[in-house]
Amino acid sequence: MNPMFRWGYAIDRVTIKKKARTPASELSAGRPVILTGLIDGWPALKRWQPDYLIQQMGTTELTVDGETLSAANLFHRLNQNQTATMPYLHNYYLEEHLPQLAADVAPMPAFLNHNYLWHKTFPKHPLTRKGRIGLFIGGHGSAFPVLHRDNFHTNAFIFQIQGTKRVWLYAPDQAPFLYVNPEVPTHSTIEAPHQLDEKRYPKFAETTPYTATLAPGEVLFVPSDWWHATYMETLSISVSVNHVDAGNFERFAAACLAHWRQSSRLTARLRYLRLRFAAARLR
């Protein structure tokens, strides 16, 4: 692994009470943080072994890197330990695709009840889905396809269930060194930072990431607009949720407006006003 991608600041770990109804002050500091003690009671921490998931998923077809695989085929591939071709299931939503697994990742931390995206009165928006909990499964050598920041300026919480996952995060002010894709401004042109071509990306050496290895039961908070990449060191299973609150709502709403304007400026304005009205009532 490239030494430039390994070096950086350690991400702080903070223990938080399970029943905390408002985010800890550390979540408002504008930096990533790893929360411990939040999900110790989740059934998934004990149940989500390959045999259990294969049984629960049954014949469900999973789309992984453009391929259609059963759960049995996916875990078979992940056990091959061939890093060059290691699949990575990502952004697969439990409620939509695998509702039988949703109860295993409950209850969600109480402070997520303040997530605007989950509130019943929050109007439909570009991130509206049939599911809100994303599933990620990879093996040794799996990695997210590209260094990126999340769409629509959302925060993210990554819940590590099984195995370990190496994470690197770059503050928004690091963007000038990250070779942002001009056609997809939420993506870098760096596809594999852990196998970086230093000659092609010389400015990347000027970055200073925050980095850590997530262990089972830990929760990583990724603030909005922070660039991040992941690399699986073992068989890794995690889930994630997007998050909007008063801190990042303005940027979220502006991004929604820009998205809606691509279809109709009048409709976009009406949707935007409804979005702002709903957020005002939630604050």
pLDDT tens sequence across 116-136: 999 988 999 998 876 689 999
The 10 Å CB-count burial string (b at 16+, else e) for 163-194 is: bbbbbbbbbeebbebbbbeeeeebbbebebbb
- pLDDT for 2-61, tens place per residue? 444 456 889 999 888 766 666 667 787 789 999 998 999 999 999 999 999 999 999 899
Give the closest residue to 144 by CA, choosing from 168, 176, 179, 174: 168
The answer to whether the beta carbons of residues 97 and 60 sit under 8 Å apart is yes
Using CA atoms in the order 49, 221, 170, 236, what is the torsion angle rounded to 10 degrees?
0
Q: Where are the alpha helices (DSSP H) in 58-170?
A: 71-78, 94-97
What are the domain boundaries of the chain? 3-245
Q: What is the model's pLDDT at position 143?
A: 84
Q: List residues bridging with 162 in a β-sheet.
A: 237
Q: How far apart are the C-alpha atoms of 70 and 135, rounded to whole Å?
A: 15
Tell me the CATH architecture of domain 3-245.
Sandwich (2.60)
Radius of gyration of the chain (CA): 19
Q: Does residue 1 surpass a pLDDT of 50? A: no
The 10 Å CB-count burial string (b at 16+, else e) for 96-126 is: ebbeebbebbeebbebbebbbbeeeebbebe
Distance of CA 235 to the CA centre of its chain: 17
Stretch 181-200: mean pLDDT:
88
Band of residue 81 on the pLDDT scale cut at 50, 70, 90: low
Handedness of CA 151, 153, 159, 162 (dihedral sign): positive
Confirm whether pTM is higher than 0.95: no
